[in-house]
Amino acid sequence: MNIHEYQAKAVLRAFSAPVANGFPAFTPEEAVEAAKKLGGPLWVVKTQIHAGGRGKGKFKEPEAGDKGGVRLARSIEEVETFARQMLGATLVTVQTGPAGKQVHRLYIEDGANIDKEFYLSALVDRVTSRISFVLSTEGGVNIEDVAHNTPEKIHSFSVDPATGIMPHHGRAAAKALGLTGEGAKQIESLVTRLYTAFVNKDMSMLEINPLIVQSNGQLRVLDAKVSFDSNALYRHPDIVALRDETEEDAKEIEASKHDLNYITLDGTIGCMVNGAGLAMATMDIIKLYGESPANFLDVGGGATKEKVTAAFKILTADSNVKGILINIFGGIMRCDVIAEGVIAAVKDVGLKVPLVVRLEGTNVDLGKKYIRESGLNVISADDLDDAAQKIVNAVRAAA
Ligand code: ADP
Ligand code: MG
């Protein structure tokens, strides 16, 4: 689960990380109120969307101006002007895709005098099974470019969970960023605080780009992006409360309510499959025959008729879906249950696109019989190859 920058900063502030003062604003009036409370003389008006690259982003609406999604303001009037321009406008950044994201919230923050911009992130590293820190003196810019062009400028170390964070990690961080004396002390205590926050809150990723040295020598977290491990959210109701569903895919939210593993993709063939491995194989074979999947959907081993119905409704409600392929191997899951779910869903929501069903395994004959006798316009298939070719041909014929 992802949260907004201002929420991430509040989480980090609770662990005593140095962040600036600021307030979220949902309206221009709230932005002015926030600016007054902060007092100035320099403010930053920051769009809050679940995507980075805001500073260099562009608004779709010309009225929103061409100064990007992070703007320095030197008066309260300017804060208000920016807030009016940005709220409701659609910001396109390298991370939003061409559709962009509509801005519903702003963060009004004290402006900082920046001396240096560093990069710092922490993540769960699957290779070492540890939390790793990544640091670079080249902050504020696209870190992927730094890694590609000047890999020697990227430093990393991992923390053994048995010992936790140690003074030598802090020294490694200071060395990576070329900090000595007071600066070294600050980074040493910062990595300790960040590690503690990371572990306590079950984060999966924490990225501070940039971490700055201000002209007074103090370190400050200037941007913050945090993701949490969804499997651990049950023990963090305070984090769950920060969820902003307007930033998430509506179909994925609906799927999560039915406990379905669903991810939206950009192809045209909707897939309903049981088991993640079979779902991956189904997506691959659709690609092999020249089309692309519209989603990943694993209905799970013990799906009920209701779950299958819900899944089918999500697929048919998606206007990108030009055809549906149901590929079920009945093990624990019985083919007749799947058939009943599909029939119930089609009766309920109708079927406007071709549907290919491939059933195999437990109660397959009964499942096929139900579908045959339902009178529905379903193309049945015998194996994976056959099914993929049939749905690709059907979608192409309908186009
Ligand atoms: P993004 O990564 O989405 O572009 P950032 O929060 O990193 O957004 O902001 C982009 C740039 O704007 C930063 O690299 C920094 O130069 C500037 N900036 C952001 N916040 C402040 C602030 N509080 N004071 C001064 N400059 C800021
Ligand atoms: Mg940034």
**This prediction's pTM:** 0.83
Can you give the pLDDT at residue 170?
96
Residue 40 in this model has a pLDDT that exceeds 90: no
Residue 52 has pLDDT above 80, yes or no: yes
Average pLDDT of the segment spanning 61-77: 94
Please, are residues 207 and 124 in contact by the beta-carbon 8 Å criterion? Answer: no
- 181 phi/psi in degrees, rounded to 5: 55, -130
Residue of 5, 138, 188, 207 with catalytic role: 207
For ligand 1, atom 20: residue with the closest CA: 222
Mean pLDDT along residues 68-89:
96
User: Is 119 a residue of the active site?
Assistant: yes
Q: Which residues are annotated as a binding site for ATP?
A: 46, 53-55, 109, 112, 117
Least confident window among 280-294, 296-310, 364-378: 296-310
Average pLDDT over residues 20-46: 96
Q: Is the pLDDT of residue 295 over 80?
A: yes
pLDDT at 65: 87
For the stretch 323-333, pLDDT in tens is: 999 998 888 88
CA distances from 21 to 9, 245, 303, 385, 399 (A): 10, 26, 48, 59, 55
Share of the chain above pLDDT 90, in %: 75
Distances from the Cα of 314 to the Cα of 243, 257, 260, angstroms:
22, 12, 11
**What pLDDT, on the 0 to 100 scale, is given for residue 144?**
86
Residue-wise pLDDT for 256-274, tens only, equals 888 888 999 989 999 999 8
Question: 236 or 245: whose pLDDT is higher?
Answer: 236
Distance of CA 31 to the CA centre of its chain: 27
- On the CB side of 188, how many CA atoms lie within 13 Å of its CA? 15
Q: List the domains of the chain with CATH numbers.
A: 21-110 (3.30.1490.20), 114-240 (3.30.470.20), 250-398 (3.40.50.261)
Beta strand 203-214 with 225-228 is antiparallel
Residue 302 has pLDDT above 90, yes or no: no
What was the pLDDT predicted at 241? 96
Instruction: Please choose from 74, 222, 225 the residue to mutate so as to test ligand 1's pocket, defined by most ligand atoms within 8 A of CB.
Output: 222
Question: How far away, in angstroms, is 69 Cα from ligand 2 center?
Answer: 11
> How high is the pLDDT of residue 348?
86
Average pLDDT over residues 354-375: 92
Nearest ligand, measured from the Cα of 46 = 1
Give the Å distance between the CA of 222 and the centre of ligand 1: 6
CA-proximal residue: ligand 1, atom 9 (nearest)? 55
153 vs 93, 225, 385, CA distance in Å?
A: 25, 21, 48
Q: Tell me the pLDDT tens digit for each residue of 178-218.
A: 999 999 999 999 999 999 999 999 999 999 999 999 999 99
pLDDT at residue 248 in the model: 86
pLDDT at 61: 93
- Res 257: pLDDT: 87
**Ion ligand 2 residues within 5 Å by Cβ:** 209, 223
Residue 19 DSSP symbol: B
**Residue list, annotated binding site:** 46, 53-55, 109, 112, 117, 209, 223, 274, 331-333
How far apart (Å, rounded) are the C-alpha atoms in residues 101 and 96? 6
pLDDT at site 141 = 75
Cβ–ligand 1 distance for 101 under 6 Å, the answer: no
50 lines ligand 1 (CB under 6 A): no
Atom of ligand 1 nearest to the CA of 112: 24
Q: Is the pLDDT of residue 378 over 80?
A: yes
What average pLDDT does this structure show over 163-188? Answer: 96
Mean pLDDT estimate for the chain: 93
Residue 245 falls in the annotated catalytic set: no
